[in-house]
Every structure is written in C-alpha cells, then in structure tokens.
Amino acid sequence: MGGALSEVTPTALGRVSVRVAMLTWEYPPRIVGGIARHVEELSWALARQGHAIRVVTCAFADAPAEEQYNGVWVHRVEPFKPANDFVHWVHQLNAAMHDRASDILAEWLRDAPDAKRLDPDRAIILHAHDWVAHFSAVRLKHAYRLPLVSTIHATEHGRNQGIRTDQQRYIHATERELTAESWRVVVCSEFMKGEVEHTLNTPLDKMDIIPNGVRTSKFEFPFTEAEAAGFRRNYASPEERLVVFSGRMVREKGAHVLVEAVRMVRDMGVPAKLVMVGGGERGHLERQARDCGIGANVYFTGFVPDDTLLRLYRVADAACFPSLYEPFGIVALEAMAAGVPVVVSDAGGLKEIVEHDRTGTVVWRGNADSLAWGLKRTLTDTTQARAMATAARRKCEEVYNWDRIAGLTSDVYRRVWGEYVGSAW
C-alpha cells in the first residue's frame, strides 16, 4: 500500500455534502462478484458522512424496485427488451438505468438546470462502477453536463490475460472510453493503477487509489464453542484441518492450483479438508480432485448465504486465495477481518493487503509447490498463524474500515466538483 492512499487530494470545498447518482449492474441481493458488496458498503458509509446517495442498479428476483436502507436510496430497473447476448443485455439495462437516473437528476436540478449555478453544498456527481455502467453514465454526463467519476474494479485484459475475441475487444474498448470520459478514475490498488495505465492508456495523474474495505463488526455475532463445533462437523471431522476457499470457479481465481496443493499437503501427512464456496462451473475441479485421489477431501458447497460463509470463516484453520489475477482481493480482506489465518498468492493487489509473515502468508502465483508450503506451515505452526491473524484483523480495523474509505472517496468528489465549477467544461 505504501503512500498510495495519500494520492487523493481534498478540495477547498471542505466538508460539503454531495449528491451522488451511483450506477452499477450489481448490488445486493444481486451478487455476481465483488462490486455488489463494495458499492453497498461504500454507499452506506458515504450516507453516514452526510452525502445523498442514490444507487441505480439491475432488478433482482423479489428485491423491491425502490427502497431506502441505511440512508441509501436503491432504484432497481429491468432491462428493456429480451437480449440476444450479454452485450445486448448490457445495452438494454443501461437504457433503463439511464431513464431512472435521469428522473433523479432532473429532480435535483429542478431549481437550477445549469448545475454550475447550484450552491457549492448542492454538488452533484455521477459515479459509474465498471464498464457495464458506461453507456448510461456517459449519456447522462453529456445530457446534464455533470462530472463523471468511474471506478475500474478489473479489466477485460487482466481477467483474460489478453484480448482475443470480438466480445473482449468490445469490452476493452468500452473500458478505455469510460476512463477517457471520466473526470477522475478510482482504482483499488497500486497494481490496478499500473494495469489501467498500461492497458487502457489512462494517465497516471488522472487516477486515485482507494482500497476496498470490510466491516469487521459483521463477524462479531454470538457463536458459542458448542455451536461452532456443531457447525464445523457439517464440513470436516474434528481431526481434519479445515481450509476455506471462497470465489467464482473460474481459472483466474486459481482453484485448480489449490486442489493440487491440498493433495500435496495431505501427502505430507497433514489431514487437510478443503471447502470450496462459490458458484460457477466446477465439473473440471471435481474431476481433478477425484483424479488426484482427494475427491472425499474436497467439498463444493456452491453459493451459500452470508451467515453461512461468516461462520465458515469463524471455524476454519485457514482461508486460501491462490488467484492468478486479482485487482484487490475482497475475499482475503473478509477472511482477515474474521480472524482466520490467510494464505494468498502474490497476484495483483493481494500482496499489497497481505504482508508476508506479518498479516498472512504470501506464496508464488500459479505454483502448487509454493502454495502447499504456505498451507502446511499455516496448518501446523498454529501459534504463528494465529498471531498473524490477530495482526491482520487489527489492520482491517485501522486501514480498511469503510468510514476511512468513504472519507477518501468524499475527497475525490469534492475535488472533482471544485475543478468542475471552476472549469469551462
């Protein structure tokens, strides 16, 4: 992390509150990746600091179309027409998001159609999360002549380790256009700053590094030893060492490396039991576990509700995140906040949030031997592992708390508004 967080420069607008129209394709209960939790927790923290936050997002199952929760208004919309493919669906969603957000902006601007004529304490910012919100965000920016901030959570180039297909090229081009249209671009790590500069040609001085956060209080729930022991028996026997992985079953998360490493750890005489939490196609991982003789020692849960995952972290001996590509690593942060020892690869932002031998164990990316070493020492040297876990939780409380992160985000908003008011657009 270093001095990255100090890059955000506050403006002279001081503690002025801001109205923010936040556009995102996922927001709880619609959870696809880490964006949903990020936007939810960030929006709550911004609201606590006095900002007016309206989140416009995609409809989901029985979730209400309009609701106010923890001080944040959430507006869920249905894509307009049946889609032919994912990109078509994105455009249909953006058309609906644009119309709902336009109503919100029109309400805010009713007394002053020209935003620059507003008082400073009536600042308005558009905030788009990733390329899926690009089309509505940029259309609103130009229609209302308002400043746009974007957060790039990951890149298409990084997810696929290159751009090869027509769809990848389209998404890549959209990401580049979004950063070009944005007044400021927020990224979550030094790694992502370099990647966005390299792959999207975004100027370094246009970006602000603001990390993801975690709410440690959500792990502070009553859970007696007897309850924990009973819950743990659902996943492992008392003599087994329980390792938890949480993430999508895609190559970039490195689950295949973890299966091989667990096989090696068991061959070393450590009775490791791997519980893999998350959705996605997992047939290849199940075959891999069977083929290497540990089919009975790997349990795939599929998607589980939050309360189950939180309890899994509470009873685990280790949490492991061996990603091949990871802009930040929210799952690792959550495991750290839960107080479970973590083992992570040195991919992307993971090595920035986990300090080797201080707050966890960092191993070589894509290397099963290195991962097996890290797991073995974490599962056998429990005194050191628990000491690092304690330091990791303390770091979460001090550095990665949402109020601090919301403050940094507020500084970006105020800086942008100050520059916008003083500009010729």
More confident residue, 414 or 425: 414
Mean pLDDT over residues 53-82, rounded? Answer: 96
Please give the torsion angle defined by the CA atoms of residues 108, 114, 117 and 123, in that order, rounded to the nearest 10 degrees: 40
**Which pLDDT value is given to residue 299?**
96
With b meaning 16 or more CB within 10 Å and e meaning fewer, what string describes 12-51?
A: ebeebbbbbbbbbbbbbebbeebbbbbbbbbbbbbbebeb
pLDDT above 90 for 113: no
So what's the pLDDT on residue 248?
86
pLDDT band at 117 (very low <50, low <70, confident <90, very high): low
Q: What residue ranges define each of the domains in the chain, with the CATH number in brackets?
A: 4-213+401-421 (3.40.50.2000), 216-398 (3.40.50.2000)
Q: What is the mean pLDDT of residues 368-374?
A: 98
Using alpha carbons, list the distances in angstroms from residue 105 to 24, 114, 141, 180. Answer: 16, 11, 10, 22
**Mean pLDDT over the full length of the chain:** 93
Q: Is the pLDDT of residue 393 over 50?
A: yes
| Furthest-apart CA atoms within the chain: distance in Å | 72
How far CA 228 is from CA of 46, 159, 207, 245, 311, in Å, comes to 35, 37, 44, 19, 8
Across 213-219, average pLDDT: 91
Using pLDDT thresholds of 50, 70 and 90, give the confidence band for residue 279.
confident
C-beta of residue 276 within 8 angstroms of C-beta of residue 308: no
Check residue 32 and give its pLDDT: 85
pLDDT surpasses 90 at 121: no
Query: What pLDDT is recorded for position 382?
Result: 95
pLDDT in tens, 69-109: 999 999 999 999 888 999 999 999 999 999 999 999 999 99
Q: What is the mean pLDDT of residues 117-124?
A: 71
* Conformation bin of residue 248: beta by default, left when phi > 0, alpha when psi is -120 to 50: beta
Angle (CA) 207 213 215, round 5°: 160
Tokens of 351: 């090595």
Instruction: Inform me whether the pLDDT recorded for 201 exceeds 60.
Output: yes
pLDDT on residue 11: 47
The fraction of the chain above a pLDDT of 90, given in percent, is: 82
Where is average pLDDT lowest: 112-116, 359-363, 391-395? Answer: 112-116
